[in-house]
Structures are given as structure tokens and as C-alpha cells.
Structure 1
Amino acid sequence: MTAAVSRRTLFGIGGGATLALASAPARALAPPPPPPADPFAPPEGVAFLARNENPYGPSPRAKQAVADLCGSGCYYASGGEDRLAAMIAEANGLTPDHVLIGAGSSEVLNCATMGLTGGGHILSADLTFDPPVRYAEAKGVAVKRVPLAPDMQVDLAAMQAAVGPDTRLVHICNPNNPTGLLLPNAALRSFAAAVSPKAIVLVDEAYNELTADPAGESLVDRVRAGDNLIVARTFSKIYGLAGMRVGYALARPDIIARMRPWSMSVGGNTGGLAAAIATYPDAAFLGYSKGRILEAREMIEAAAKSAGLPTLKSATNFVYVKVPDAAAVQKRLEAKGILIRGPYGKWTQWSRVSCGKIEDVARYAAALPEAARA
């Protein structure tokens, strides 16, 4: 009886509620909330030419892989890290034990500057991509910096002469950042052959894929030969994954084993590794990206030439432009919504401009003559 009453009571309430809803005045449905603002991309209307990013990535394959595999974000990503390491090893004629994956090449560079320098010092050029060197220096590692040659190139002869019994690591960025200059391959090979028996040579090849002959300009073959040498690469540049933080080092397994304990990652991140695995063999996307980057680079060089401003010959996705006052140029362009890098230390007449979207580079080209006035 109680159950029957409860049922009748329930249905009675349900029917009354339905009638009440039917007799209530109609209300418009609330509009859907606007999509969240993108905290990662440059603000609307800003030409962002300051960070050497590839705005044409991630590739369609990378985006699809992230979408397909985001449900696995609850798991630590060591399986993906192992798969990517195996792919990279196979492509370079090495074993997975020759490969260290990191959060961007910055992490593996930090592993080298911290893990391979005990009781000695790092040798580096005094204008280069040196955050990993400065990181180690802040942790107490000694650093010796060698001035550039008069042509702004890394001075290999001076660096070789500076190698001493306490030199543990020799840091070379090739092509160099911020100058964009590529070292002559024969000279770099001769340098590495002379120096690597005395100290580990670390070659940061972040921009290698943007050179005219990536395989010919790399020293990966010397890793295969077992030299005392590390090659570092990144997915941040031509692959367009700067914010997804994937990079790697190639070296003898015993060197990798000394670097690995300094890694801060726990198996990497699912999204970045999924994107890297999908885009690593994507020759079509890499060709497209390189074509757009080279087009933008030629536009920057042509704009500088038209304005009477010298540039260094770049082999990267940025151009180093000589101007009367780099800080003033940066400020004037910023007022027009165009962001470039300011001066680097004592190099106050040199301005680094990244190869961003073609339309943004066109804005820079149009604004440069006025911005660069003395």
C-alpha cells in the first residue's frame, strides 16, 4: 500500500511540475559563453617577430594526434618518449640509448652544462644562445667566454686556443643565435676533431633544418663515429612546436647516461610527444614551413637593403639587422604594433627580427625605414 501511494504521489508531483512548466512564461535560452581568450598567441593586431617561432605550425598531423590522444593525458608519457626516441635513433643510424628527450632542447642543453662539467669549466662564445650556459653558471659552474671574430662569426681558432686542462664542455650554437651565421662545415669539423679528445663538444643545431643542406651541415655522423660530441635538436623551430616543449640530444650512450640524471622531466608531456611523433616524418609540412620561412627571410633582408641597413647572412628563421640604435628601433616598431628583439648586451646596433607570418613581416618591411632613422 505504501509503495502504491508513493508511486501515485510521485506521478502526481511529476504531472503538476509538467503543467507548471507548460504554463510558465517562455524564456530565451542564454547564449553560449564566448570561447576562452587565447593566452598563448600574440594579441590581435600585433605582428610578433621576436621569438624565432614558426607560426605555421603545429602541422595538421600534429594537431590531429593531440586531439586523438589527449584522453591519455592521465598517464605518464614515458611510452611516447620511448617511441619518439626510437624514431629519432632510426632516422639517424643510432640506437635509443644514444637519444635523450627533453622539454625542448633547452632541457637537454641544461643536462649537458650541469652533468658534464664537474671540476672544470664551460667554454662558449660571448654572443650566442647561452641560457643553458648561464643556468650552469648560476649554479656555480665556471664559464669562459671567447669574443667573436671581427665578422661576427664564432671564432673557432680562438676557442680552440682557449681550451685548457680544466675545459670540460665546449658549447657551439650552429647556426648561431642571434647572429644567424652558419659556420663553414669543414672548419667546424676540423675544430671538433681537434678539441673533442680534450673536452666534450656540444653543438646546438636548433636551426639545422633551415640550412640549405641540413644533413651536410650536421655533425650527427660524428656521434655515429663515437666522438666525444653531442648534437642537440628541437621541435620548436621548423616543426612549429615551441610551446609544446620537445627537444633531444644525440650522443654516445655513456655521455647520455651522465646527462640523464639532470633531466627534470618525468617522461615528457603527452601532447608535445604526440605532436612530435606525428610530425617528425611529415616531409610535406616541413617543406611548406621551410618555404614560408625562407620567403619571410628574403623579405626582411630586402627591406633592410632598401633602407640601407646591413644584415648578416642568415641560415635560420631570423635576420640580424644593423641599425643606428636597436633599442630605439624596437621602441618605434612597438608603437606600431610590431614586436622584435631589442639589443643583446653590448651589441646595441644589432636588431634581431624573426620570420613570422608573411603579412606581419610585410608590416615590418613597410615600417622599417622610418623606425631606423638615426
Structure 2
Amino acid sequence: MNWKPVLSTMKPYAPGRSITEVKRTYGLQDVNKLASNENPYGSSPAVAEYLRSKADQFEMYPDVYTAGLRTKLAEFHQIDPTEILFSNGSDEMVTILSRALLQSGTNTVMADVTFPQYAHNAKIEGAEMRVVPILENGDHDLEGFLRAADEDTAIIWVCNPNNPTGNLLSSKAVKDFLDRAPKTALVVLDEAYFEFVTNPNQEDSLKWIHDYDNLIVMRTFSKAYGLASFRLGYAVTNKDHVAALNKVRNPFNNNSLALAVAEVALEDQQFLQNCVSKNDMERKRYVEYAKKNTLAIYPSETNFVLIEVPVDADEACEVLLQHGFIVRSGNLLGTPGFVRITIGTEQQNTDLFKAFDVLLTLK
């Protein structure tokens, strides 16, 4: 087969261990998956009620235009419905943007420690990757981004808050960057964790799309809304960009159930805010735990933390697995010496701290 040569240099996505696998391997009854940044509180109860009572017509293709959700989302964000593009999770949105803009002869700018699908898709499309190291505090080096970009830069990826560090760039910093970034480069502001941000000074970047013609903002229903299994992401940008990107987007890329339950979830903002409030309280507990035990921890505005471990990150993950906790090794994320932990419920975090105490005895 005439595969693209670059595929021989790549590896497929490596998923974390499943709860079933860990239970079987370690003989455990109770296992907590805190590795994939899922919402530990689930999704709105209204979603389950909808699925029990109203889901039907499975023989029909979904609405290509996504009229129902598009209208509600536009009203919610106070934007025009033509400024929204839907995708099968944020992963597909990255693929759509890469297919539309990246090719041999172009380059793309990103941080060295960030969402790995940016680099993955750039390699497949044959674009040059210009990778800028994050700053010591975990922030994107936006000045470094500007130095790396030129007239051949097609996409600049800004993950905010950043995965896996959790760092949040201020609205002022992002807008200053947009003012200076090449106008021929599409700046992708990936805000998968936007709903978890509690900084009162942070602005809603969707309001900027009319000020910056080269801006697109990505959001998702997977994280705070707790709908990861339905795979539904979206992006907001000017309608001309949406029209162009729709030429790349596969028809029927969102299934009918995903579109329907997203409408239901969007209406239950009380549930979402309760999740955000609980997450904020528990996030502070991680900061306190790190301070108490003299552990470095990145300043997260997400539903996960990147925290220092006293041994190799893979070894730390193994110890935590033995105690029933699945977390993500920093060795896989470009942050050796750290593990990424999804912020769980109060009880999950209390139990995780007890397991982490065992790690501390290995210093």
C-alpha cells in the first residue's frame, strides 16, 4: 500500500487504561478514572430524562444544518447562526481546520506542551511545525509565537486554558497577540475548558470574532457539559470562514442524539454552574495539598491539575493505579516529573490525596 511516508514516523493515539482493565489487572473493586478530564458529576439529569422518553427516529439521518442546536446556541451566545461550525468533538474540528489550511509549503505555530492533535494533524498534512517552548510558569510564549510566524504561517494554535498545564492566558494578553499576529494566519483559540474558568477578569472571546477576521474560537460539550460520549464540538468565526470550512466538513458528522441532548444540556445552566462551583472548590484543595507537601503545581483554570510527583511519572501512575486511581503520566504529555489529574468529586479527591501520600513516602 502507498501510505503517506510520514505515517511510518507516527504513533496512533494511546488511550489511558480503562476502569474494567484496571479492576481486572489489580483485583480492585473500586477504581476512579481521573485521567481524561471528564465531568465527575456526569451530565444534566434532563439529558437522561430525554433519552428515556423522547429519543426516536433512529432510521433518519441527522439534520445537516443542525438547525435546532444552531438556533439555541446562537441565542445563548448572542451571535449569528451562520457563525457556528459543528464537529464530532474538538478533535474533528482540529482535523477540519488542518485539512482546509495546512499543506506542504505552509507552517503552523504551536506550543511544545499543548493538545497533541495540533501536531498530529500537521504532520499528516505535510506542513512545517514551528514549536515554541512554553514559559517557565506554563504559559504560552506569545512573543515566541510572533517571532516564529511569517507570511507562510497558516494556523496558530492557542490553547486557552492550556491542556495539559491548565494555564490561562489573560484576555488582555490574547488580544494584544491578536493585534500583532499575521492577518493571513488563522488564530485558533481552543477553549475546550472555557466553562471552568472562574477568573472574573476573563472576557468571553466569542465577542471578538467581529474585531479579528482571522480568529476562530473552539468550544465543546464534552467537558463541563459532561457529554463526552456524544462527541460534539463547535467553533465560532465569521460566516465566510464557516462557509469555506463546510466544504471540508463531512456531511452528517454529528449524530441526531448528540444534537438533541446538547440542546437539553444547554438549557440546564444551573447544573453546569453547580459543576463549575464544585470544581473550583476542589481545585483549591489540590493547590492547598501541593503547598502543604511542597509540590509544584501549575495554576489551573480547568477541571484538571498538573502536579509534581516525587518519582518518575510512570512509576507514580503505577502506584496510584494500585490504589485505584487512573491518572495521566507527564511522560506522555511532555511534562516529566508531573502527572495530570482530573479533579474529581470531594470523596474522590480525598481518597486520591491518601493514595498520593503513599507516593510521598517514596521520596
TM-score relative to the length of structure 1: 0.84
Partner of 2:352: 364
Partner of 1:179: 165
Paired with 2:73 and 2:20, the residues of 1 have a C-alpha distance of 28
Task: Check if 1:326 corresponds to 2:326.
Answer: no
The answer on whether the counterparts of 2:22 and 2:321 sit within 8 Å (CA) in structure 1 is no
> Which of residues 53, 61, 79 is equivalent to 2:38?
53
Task: Check if 1:347 corresponds to 2:335.
Answer: yes
Task: Please give the secondary structure, in 1, of the residue aligned with 2:217.
Answer: strand
Task: Check if 1:304 corresponds to 2:290.
Answer: yes
| 1:272 Cα offset (Å) | 1.5
The answer on whether the counterparts of 1:98 and 1:251 sit within 8 Å (CA) in structure 2 is yes
Paired with 2:87 and 2:259, the residues of 1 have a C-alpha distance of 10
Q: Which runs of 5+ in 1 are unaligned?
A: 1-37
Q: Which amino acid aligns with 1:136?
A: A
Paired with 1:92 and 1:214, the residues of 2 have a C-alpha distance of 18
| 1:215 Cα offset (Å) | 8.8
| 1:143 Cα offset (Å) | 1.7
Of stretches 335-344 and 255-264 in structure 1, the one that deviates more from structure 2 is 255-264
| 1:146 Cα offset (Å) | 0.7
The answer on whether the counterparts of 1:304 and 1:368 sit within 8 Å (CA) in structure 2 is no
Q: Which runs of 5+ in 2 are unaligned?
A: 1-17, 24-28
Q: What does the per-residue CA deviation read over 1:6-40, in whole Å, with 9 as the maximum and x for residues that have no partner?
A: xxxxxxxxxxxxxxxxxxxxxxxxxxxxxxxx999
Partner of 2:101: 116
What is the aligned residue count? 337
Partner of 1:67: 52
Partner of 1:167: 153
The answer on whether the counterparts of 2:150 and 2:182 sit within 8 Å (CA) in structure 1 is no
Q: Which amino acid aligns with 1:329?
A: A
The answer on whether the counterparts of 1:236 and 1:243 sit within 8 Å (CA) in structure 2 is yes
| 1:130 Cα offset (Å) | 2.5
- Cα separation, partners in 2 of 1:125 and 1:307, compared to 1, 3 Å: same
> Which of residues 293, 297, 303 is equivalent to 2:279?
293
Bigger radius of gyration among the two: 1
Partner of 2:228: 242
Task: Check if 1:84 corresponds to 2:69.
Answer: yes
> Which of residues 292, 299, 308 is equivalent to 1:313?
299
Partner of 1:28: none
> Which of residues 177, 183, 191 is equivalent to 1:205?
191
- Cα separation, partners in 2 of 1:79 and 1:257, compared to 1, 3 Å: closer
Partner of 2:14: none
- Cα separation, partners in 2 of 1:163 and 1:339, compared to 1, 3 Å: same
Task: Please give the secondary structure, in 2, of the residue aligned with 1:249.
Answer: strand
Of stretches 277-286 and 294-303 in structure 1, the one that deviates more from structure 2 is 294-303
Q: Which amino acid aligns with 1:336?
A: H
Of stretches 115-124 and 236-245 in structure 1, the one that deviates more from structure 2 is 115-124
| 1:345 Cα offset (Å) | 4.9
Task: Please give the secondary structure, in 2, of the residue aligned with 1:261.
Answer: coil
Paired with 1:214 and 1:276, the residues of 2 have a C-alpha distance of 26
Of stretches 181-190 and 41-50 in structure 1, the one that deviates more from structure 2 is 41-50
The answer on whether the counterparts of 1:122 and 1:168 sit within 8 Å (CA) in structure 2 is yes
| 1:152 Cα offset (Å) | 1.9
Task: Please give the secondary structure, in 1, of the residue aligned with 2:57.
Answer: helix
Paired with 1:266 and 1:215, the residues of 2 have a C-alpha distance of 38
Paired with 2:19 and 2:230, the residues of 1 have a C-alpha distance of 14
Paired with 2:204 and 2:353, the residues of 1 have a C-alpha distance of 32
Task: Please give the secondary structure, in 2, of the residue aligned with 1:183.
Answer: coil
Paired with 1:40 and 1:206, the residues of 2 have a C-alpha distance of 27
Partner of 1:29: none
- Cα separation, partners in 2 of 1:39 and 1:72, compared to 1, 3 Å: farther
Q: What does the per-residue CA deviation read over 1:234-260, in whole Å, with 9 as the maximum and x for residues that have no partner?
A: 001110111111110101112112222
Task: Check if 1:268 corresponds to 2:254.
Answer: yes
The answer on whether the counterparts of 1:80 and 1:270 sit within 8 Å (CA) in structure 2 is no
Task: Please give the secondary structure, in 1, of the residue aligned with 2:131.
Answer: strand
Paired with 1:176 and 1:207, the residues of 2 have a C-alpha distance of 8
- Cα separation, partners in 2 of 1:130 and 1:152, compared to 1, 3 Å: same
TM-score relative to the length of structure 2: 0.86
Paired with 1:168 and 1:68, the residues of 2 have a C-alpha distance of 46
Q: Which amino acid aligns with 2:51?
A: V
Paired with 1:139 and 1:323, the residues of 2 have a C-alpha distance of 36
Deviating beyond 6 angstroms after TM superposition, the runs of 4 or more aligned structure 1 residues are 38-42
Partner of 1:229: 215
